[in-house]
Amino acid sequence: MRVLRLHPPKIEDIHHPLFEAQQVRVSVKREDGVHAIYGGNKWYKLQHNIQEALAKHHHTILTFGGAFSNHIAATAAACQELGLRSIGVIRGEAHYTENATLKAAQAAGMQLHFVSRTAYREKDSVQFLQSLQQLFGEFYLIPEGGANVLGAKGCEDIITKATTSYSHITLACGTGTTAAGILASCEPYQEIIGIPVFKDGSFLRKDILALTPQPNGVLELFTQYGFGGYAKTTPELVDFINFWHQQGLPLDPIYTGKAFFGVIRAIEVGYFPKGSRILFIHTGGLQGIAGYNAQQQKQASPLFIEN
């Protein structure tokens, strides 16, 4: 059994005249730099799940995701390095293997199994799981996005001694699992701001709290930065992301770009008291830009700068 090689995440201070004007400081914890594929928040969510699978003597990991899923990419790459068989149940049609994320997952040895959107909605039913067992034999199941208690527990490690000096910790939310782990392990004086990357994300509060038996900090959600829905974008968001890329902060279109947009907007409107020290957790996702651009190109939409 091999061990994963991870680079320790750096915390970088970033600068912009706006921050000085509003008298706040902004830093980014570059979890994206930990590994090109399973860096970001995804290895944190996988680590205890994979340990549990090994403890239960499983050799196969099965999980779920969409065609651009960072979780699918991360699971495939991590399983390859650890010598585990991986199966990805993918929402949608097989022609999606055209995209960079799924190609890479397949190249890492993941077996892809495509199911219709209708079938995918039933993915947690006993019947569906039994049909998967008939197809693939025994496996350890990790839910979509690594969204379970073990996933949240793994994200507690994002908080370290180095993060204790910040007044606000901000991050993108999909399932809210990462925010849950951070909320459990942060300091009581810290405000954790989750930015859901889809419409009407206020329901996430109860999901996050369900995964956090003992919240430590204060939870806030900025729910107005969904940009019309999950994986939807606007020319304004493209410009924003490309601007920050040129400043040395690459962001992805689906998660970190929207979340950082929300942070900047909140600074502009004076949400943060003077003297605030704001930490943005870069949760990764940069692997998805190539596939996303390919789609944008088909619709002649503006493109994101790659790498």
Contacts of 188 (CB under 8 A, 6+ apart): 216, 217
**75 makes contact with ligand PLP (CB under 6 A):** no
Binding range to ligand PLP, per CB under 6 A, among 15-23, 87-95, 169-177, 183-191 = 169-177
CA-to-CA distance for 280 and 56, rounded, in angstroms? 36
Binding range to ligand PLP, per CB under 6 A, among 2-10, 78-86, 239-247, 283-291 = 283-291
CA-to-CA distance for 58 and 257, rounded, in angstroms? 37
85-91 and 60-65 beta bridge pairing = parallel
Q: Which two tokens stand for residue 121?
A: 């909605």
**65 makes contact with ligand PLP (CB under 6 A):** no
Task: Please give the distance of CA 290 from its chain centroid, rounded to a whole number.
Answer: 17
Q: How many Cα atoms sit within 13 Å of 18 on the Cβ side?
A: 12
Q: Which two tokens stand for residue 254?
A: 């689906």
Which residue, chain included where needed, has tokens 């570059």?
30
Q: Which two tokens stand for residue 91?
A: 């929402």
For residue 78, the tally of other CB atoms under 10 A from its CB is 22
**31 makes contact with ligand PLP (CB under 6 A):** no
**285 makes contact with ligand PLP (CB under 6 A):** yes
Among 86, 99, 178, 212, binds ligand PLP (CB under 6 A): 178
Please state the closest distance from residue 28 (CB atom) to ligand PLP, in A: 13
Among 145, 217, 250, 291, binds ligand PLP (CB under 6 A): 145
**252 makes contact with ligand PLP (CB under 6 A):** yes
200-222 CB burial, b ≥16 within 10 A, e <16 = ebeebbebbeebbeebbbebebb
**156 makes contact with ligand PLP (CB under 6 A):** no
Binding range to ligand PLP, per CB under 6 A, among 114-122, 166-174, 222-230, 238-246 = 166-174
Please state the closest distance from residue 177 (CB atom) to ligand PLP, in A: 4
Task: Report the residue closest to ligand PLP, judged by CB.
Answer: 285
Among 9, 33, 40, 253, binds ligand PLP (CB under 6 A): 40
218-221 and 11-14 beta bridge pairing = unpaired
Binding range to ligand PLP, per CB under 6 A, among 123-131, 210-218, 248-256, 298-306 = 248-256
Binding range to ligand PLP, per CB under 6 A, among 60-68, 171-179, 219-227, 233-241 = 171-179
**172 makes contact with ligand PLP (CB under 6 A):** yes
Binding residue count for ligand PLP, defined by CB under 6 A = 20
Whose CA is closest to 71, among 48, 98, 102?
Answer: 102
**291 makes contact with ligand PLP (CB under 6 A):** no
**Residue 302 — φ and ψ, nearest 5°?**
-60, 150
**176 makes contact with ligand PLP (CB under 6 A):** yes
Answer whether 176's CB lies under 8 Å from 211's CB. Answer: yes
Binding range to ligand PLP, per CB under 6 A, among 215-223, 242-250, 265-273, 282-290 = 282-290
CA-to-CA distance for 41 and 66, rounded, in angstroms? 17
- Contact set with ligand PLP (CB under 6 A): 40-41, 70-71, 145, 147, 172-179, 252, 255-256, 283-285
